[in-house]
Amino acid sequence: MPQEYLMVSNIPANAVRDLFRDADTGEADTRFVTRPSLVTMAIVSSAVGIEMQLFSGERNIIQRSTLEAGGTTGTFPNITDKAFQFAAAAGEKLRALLRETAGVATTDVMAVVSIDPLQ
């Protein structure tokens, strides 16, 4: 499957956003897994103070963890260098909750997501 580039810009101070629902381009098609698949994802924030918690269906894939900072707004991470992978079952819905913890209202998060069906 082709890669999808998602960005959530200017996350309000102390707010929670869902990367797949609240992306600047609108709700992401990749949040719905239609077949058993391998999900590859790379994500970075433009500043410190963003935590992410990742779910696939009801499964917690990543406990709340601080995202890597230092990304440039609008520059997406390289999926071959910074990605992680996990399996997702058919019918699961992906959620990536982003929590701004530094009290800054100008932080951006950029992500690249690829969902490849398992044979």
Tens-place pLDDT, residues 54-90: 999 999 999 999 988 887 887 899 888 889 999 999 9
CATH class in words for 4-117 = mainly beta
Residues above pLDDT 90, as percent of the chain: 69
Give the Cα-Cα-Cα angle 11, 17, 23 (nearest 5 degrees): 80
pTM, rounded to two decimals? 0.88
* Residue labelled with tokens 């991470």: 77
Tell me how far apart the alpha carbons of residues 32 and 11 are, in angstroms, rounded to a whole number.
23
With H, G, I as helix, E, B as strand and everything else as coil, classify residue 14: coil
Torsion of CA 79, 84, 85, 86, to 10 degrees: -140
